Chain A
Amino acid sequence: MDSRIESVMKRGRGYWFVDGFTEILAGILFILLGGITLLSGIVPPSSFLSQFISLAESAAIVKFLGLILAVLGLWWLKDRFTYPRTGFVREKGVPRSQLLVFLRNAVLIAILPVLGLIIPLFFIPAVRGAIFSMPIWFPPVLGIFWGALCILLGEWTALRRFRLLGVVILLAGISVGAWQLSLGMPNVPAGALRANILSPLPDVLWAPVEESLNRALAGVGLLTLLSGIAFAVSGLATFLRYRKENPVPYREEL
């Protein structure tokens, strides 16, 4: 009985995603971010496109404005398309206490792994080896993290497609890691492992570090691009189904 009540409650929670717009917009943003990251590693540095990409990469204000515009566009679309068809829902606000706990946990989740890598760098040379192998382990870890978030969202809203998306993103992360592994492990010069971490590395030691970082970035870019495509396809399919089920705005029957 209670599980049936719970499933009705989940319908209310998942209503925001009923039309697929959120996934389509998230997908487009991910495709743009992933595409820019990937292209920045491929396009020759002196070309016109590379100038454009480096501008897009560095201009944080453009990304911020893009995000604000996307959210405003989402509200506008829902106001014009969704609410006249299947009704308006005001989502539950998060209480300030819960929001603070969430922010604290998010900051800890973001900072702890970074600190966990940076602090041992000073003391344990083997950890630097782990940094060099970032292209292989970072995309799968990120894929597992994003995939888990999607699966949790699917549980929270009882929307099966989010669970499926979670699995797709998780597999994409693992595949990107496997692709990087197939390219071979980046070279780890012994000098780089022993060098004083606060002093600048000589060019001959810096090159493999740069290669490793670039490969990791390319992996993350590819994962972001694949996740964006998955989101966009899922959103589009949801939108088409929603439009088929609700072709016209609701009208009072006379």
Chain B
Amino acid sequence: MSEPLRNLSDLDRVIHEPARLLLVALLSSVESADFLFLLKESGLTKGNLSVHLSRLEEAGYLRVEKTFRGKIPHTEFRLTPKGRSAFDQYRKDIGSIVNPKKARG
């Protein structure tokens, strides 16, 4: 198997799925966000978004925090350190596939 193909098969499947990649990319740039923000920005349906968030949580990439904003219950989602490093690694991996010369240089 050639190196780029091997790299392709090594990609993190949890993050590689487009909807989850979008969610992880959004969460990587902030401390945390609520369901409504992720819903509006991703354009996913509520059911779909819940499924993808659960998948990320199962993988240990996401932490769900139930807090209060004033008196209103509030659920926030944040990437765990494991999730952040998995996302950084994914970006390196995808970079080495798309642009192998640059990745080696």
List residues of A whose CB falls within 8 A of some B CB: 1-2, 5, 8-13, 15, 79, 83, 86-93, 250
User: How far apart are the CA atoms of A15 and B37 in the complex, in Å?
Assistant: 10
Determine whether the beta carbon of A2 is less than 8 Å from that of B41: no
Instruction: Establish whether residues A9 and B33, one from each chain, have CB atoms under 8 Å apart when the complex forms.
Output: no
Q: Is the CB of A92 within 8 A of B30?
A: yes
CB distance from A127 to the nearest CB of B (A): 45
Contact segment of B1-9, B18-26, B52-60: B18-26
Number of B residues, CB within 8 Å of A: 28
Interface of B is mostly: helix
The answer on a CB contact under 8 Å between B31 and A93 is: yes
Inter-subunit contact B38/A2 (CB<8 Å): no
Asked if A87 and B30 sit within 8 Å, CB to CB, the answer is no
Residues of B close to A9: CB separation below 8 A: 25-26, 28-29
Which of B26, B30, B36, B94 is in CB contact (< 8 Å) with A2?
B94
Contact present for B35 and A5 (CB under 8 Å): no
SS of A interface (majority): helix
A12–B27 contact, CB under 8 A? Answer: yes
Can you name the residue of chain B whose Cβ is closest to the Cβ of A6? B25
User: Which B residues are CB-close (under 8 A) to A91?
Assistant: 30-31
**Contacts A5-B21, A12-B33, A12-B41 given; 7 further ones with Cβ under 8 A?**
A9-B26, A12-B26, A12-B28, A86-B40, A87-B37, A92-B31, A250-B36
What CA separation (Å) do A103 and B41 show in the bound complex?
Answer: 33
**Chain A residue at minimum C-beta to C-beta distance from B32:** A90
- Residue contact B91 to A86, C-beta cutoff 8 Å: no
**Known contacts A15-B37, A87-B36, A92 near B91 by CB under 8 Å:** no
What are some 10 contacts across the A-B interface (CB < 8 A)?
Answer: A2-B94, A2-B95, A12-B27, A12-B29, A87-B41, A88-B33, A89-B32, A90-B31, A90-B32, A92-B31
Asked if B40 contacts A13 (CB within 8 A), the reply is: no
Any chain A CB within 8 A of the CB of B51?
A: no
Give chain A residues whose Cβ lies under 8 Å from the Cβ of B37.
Answer: 15, 86-89
Distance, CA A83 to CA B33, complexed state (A): 11
Partner of A15, one of B28, B30, B98: B30
User: Quick one: closest B residue to A9, CB to CB?
Assistant: B29
Question: Bound state CA distance, A93 and B40, in angstroms?
Answer: 23
Query: Which 10 A-B pairs give the minimum distances between C-beta atoms?
Result: A87-B37, A87-B36, A12-B29, A9-B29, A8-B25, A90-B31, A88-B34, A90-B32, A12-B30, A89-B33
Interchain CB contact under 8 A, A1 and B94: yes
